[in-house]
Chains A and B, each alone.
Chain A
């Protein structure tokens, strides 16, 4: 177990370094307007001097080495336009906790709603509840999130009688962002749990249990549900990534003072160093999320052999 964990974490670290390098190289191609707050008024010489000051004219490998050195000291550079000459990490320090809180709430809500929904759909297969659930899943998956989030905001705020913009201290204002962020994952969990439970219910041990006279509900929840839940765990990392991505749009839509909303703001303001910092942070979140998911699966399912990843030959 420990050996597997060490191996997996080592692997993730290597991946992370590669990803950071690639993203960093890509970000060197950013339009240079993004480094200066008053680009239009500057002479070419001033621009040249400014770029040299920031070390952007050095050869790429030098820049990469320096970037990793700074990163180890927890330095992501300073913002140029969004809040001039404030360290990126300092700006992010206020924002990240809000995002994490929102994400955690949303993960919990989606599990709490999605799993009972999937289980009930499998229980009442081909009946009204199942059809209703399937319709919900089709709508959520087919219609772009960017569209139904708008309508949730539009009508949800009227129903709940709250303002369009977020108020961090009022719990009522948390409902809509959390719910919107969860919808996608609710559909996701519901769909897969239903499928696994239906698959599972055709197996022999279920027939035996039924033949022994275990009640329908007992078979469903004591036997089928437990076995169907394990493969579901492999979707938790994907769901996690969904939440992370959803946060970019949701936070910006409701003006939640979090990381995702900030990304949209700094993109609109063309602040290169901020974009770079946040994009790198998101890349890290992705890598770590998938790693935690793998580890979680190993802990949950004893049948998965350690040290051998699924799909490998």
Chain B
């Protein structure tokens, strides 16, 4: 009995406060509240309009991830620096073999005043080589990611949307998917002469199909949803359905894959260089530098030649990984409040 009365009292209190709140908000008398409202266009629009913007919400969600923002900032600085570095005063050319007064090469000089990160075994400045190499590696990574995205998205959308193509592309996929990617990479690099272009080509050759497959599966899921059927009934051209109705749905997936392709491409370059099919030594890349450093692994005093390139490489790859994941989370409308 006691409980019941307590609840009763609580309810009454609540009702009272609610009524008061309504009255305060509207300032309407009892009579006005219970009379019919007249049509007012302005009032109608009030609820229909939302100031939700996809990209702004994405940005807001992304900014909440402090770690990713900091990494993005640092990565931006690094990227900027790789371009600025050659124009700074007192920089050496990455391929110049530096001699001292007696005409002897500065070999394996440890990091110090004259050479910020020391020199390598034939007397080239490691600092200049590292930045030049970072530039090359980032260029490879970004080009591969962009090319894969472009080809993958185009083919993936067609694959998912045009039923006639499905059979052929699925068969092609089944074949390509069966060979380990690295084997294709090795094969193409072996056949072609090593250069930045051929490396990018070899990496794109198989990467796009994974992207296309992913997009195709997503498209299959959403292509026959009601809003797409409605668009089709209203005579919207196919190209517009693809770009306006389907692709925005896939932004988060695409960004994630692109962000993960970059570290993978940089890693592949290191691997290919190790096998002996990489870029020539006069094109410094992180793979080249790491490979040079690896050759000196047995002598602890020279280990700095391996450590510095790997530090930069690890920073770049981890940043892309974390930023990519954070951005894809942020781009998913489910995470927008």
B84 CB-CB contact with A under 8 Å = no
B266 CB-CB contact with A under 8 Å = yes
Given A164-B298, A267-B275, A142 and B270 contact (CB-CB distance below 8 Å): no
Given A15-B174, A138-B321, A142-B317, A26 and B191 contact (CB-CB distance below 8 Å): yes
A111 CB-CB contact with B under 8 Å = no
Within 8 A of B (CB), among A256-287: 263-264, 267-268, 275, 279, 282-283, 285-287
A27 CB-CB contact with B under 8 Å = yes
- Interface size range of chain A in the complex: 35 or more
Mark each residue of chain B from 313 to 325: 1 if its CB lies under 8 Å from any CB of chain A, else 0: 1100110111000
| Residue in B186, B187, B318 whose beta carbon sits within 8 Å of that of A143 in the complex | B318
B111 CB-CB contact with A under 8 Å = no
Within 8 A of A (CB), among B158-188: 166, 174-175, 177-183, 186-188
Q: Is the CB of A282 within 8 A of B178?
A: no
| Residue in B174, B290, B297 whose beta carbon sits within 8 Å of that of A146 in the complex | B290
In the complex, which residues of chain B have a beta carbon less than 8 angstroms from the beta carbon of A27?
187, 191
A109 CB-CB contact with B under 8 Å = no
A29 CB-CB contact with B under 8 Å = yes
Within 8 A of B (CB), among A213-272: 241, 244-245, 248-249, 252, 263-264, 267-268
Interface of B is mostly: helix
Q: Closest A-chain residue to B307, C-beta based?
A: A151
Q: Is the CB of A279 within 8 A of B276?
A: no
In the complex, which residues of chain A have a beta carbon less than 8 angstroms from the beta carbon of B322?
138, 142
In the complex, which residues of chain B have a beta carbon less than 8 angstroms from the beta carbon of A275?
190
| Residue in B191, B277, B317 whose beta carbon sits within 8 Å of that of A29 in the complex | B191
Give complex CA distance A252, B277 in Å: 14
- Interface size range of chain B in the complex: 35 or more
| Residue in B188, B191, B275, B294 whose beta carbon sits within 8 Å of that of A150 in the complex | B294
Q: Closest A-chain residue to B294, C-beta based?
A: A150
Within 8 A of B (CB), among A141-195: 141-147, 150-151, 153-154, 164
| Residue in A31, A146, A283, A313 whose beta carbon sits within 8 Å of that of B271 in the complex | A146
Expressed in whole angstroms, the minimum distance between the Cβ of A235 and any Cβ of chain B is: 14
Within 8 A of B (CB), among A10-42: 15-16, 18-19, 22-23, 26-27, 29-31
| Residue in B183, B276, B314 whose beta carbon sits within 8 Å of that of A286 in the complex | B183
A290 CB-CB contact with B under 8 Å = yes
Expressed in whole angstroms, the minimum distance between the Cβ of B230 and any Cβ of chain A is: 22
In the complex, which residues of chain B have a beta carbon less than 8 angstroms from the beta carbon of A252?
274-275
Given A23-B187, A27-B187, A143-B314, A286 and B274 contact (CB-CB distance below 8 Å): no
In the complex, which residues of chain A have a beta carbon less than 8 angstroms from the beta carbon of B178?
15-16, 19, 283, 286-287, 290
Q: Closest B-chain residue to A16, C-beta based?
A: B178
A311 CB-CB contact with B under 8 Å = yes
Expressed in whole angstroms, the minimum distance between the Cβ of B49 and any Cβ of chain A is: 35
Expressed in whole angstroms, the minimum distance between the Cβ of A304 and any Cβ of chain B is: 17
Given A29-B191, A144-B270, A311-B217, A279 and B317 contact (CB-CB distance below 8 Å): no
In the complex, which residues of chain A have a beta carbon less than 8 angstroms from the beta carbon of B243?
none
| Residue in A18, A29, A142, A263 whose beta carbon sits within 8 Å of that of B321 in the complex | A142
B306 CB-CB contact with A under 8 Å = yes
Q: Closest B-chain residue to A147, C-beta based?
A: B310
Q: Is the CB of A19 within 8 A of B220?
A: no
Mark each residue of chain B from 286 to 319: 1 if its CB lies under 8 Å from any CB of chain A, else 0: 0100100010011000010010001001100110
Q: Is the CB of A279 within 8 A of B183?
A: yes
Within 8 A of A (CB), among B215-244: 217, 220
Q: Is the CB of A145 within 8 A of B267?
A: yes
Q: Is the CB of B220 within 8 A of A313?
A: yes
| Residue in B181, B264, B276 whose beta carbon sits within 8 Å of that of A267 in the complex | B276
In the complex, which residues of chain B have a beta carbon less than 8 angstroms from the beta carbon of A147?
267, 270, 290, 310, 313-314
Give complex CA distance A150, B75 in Å: 24
B263 CB-CB contact with A under 8 Å = yes
Residues of A within 8 A of B (CB): 15-16, 18-19, 22-23, 26-27, 29-31, 138-139, 141-147, 150-151, 153-154, 164, 241, 244-245, 248-249, 252, 263-264, 267-268, 275, 279, 282-283, 285-287, 290, 311, 313
Closest 3 CB pairs of A and B: A144-B267, A142-B321, A146-B270
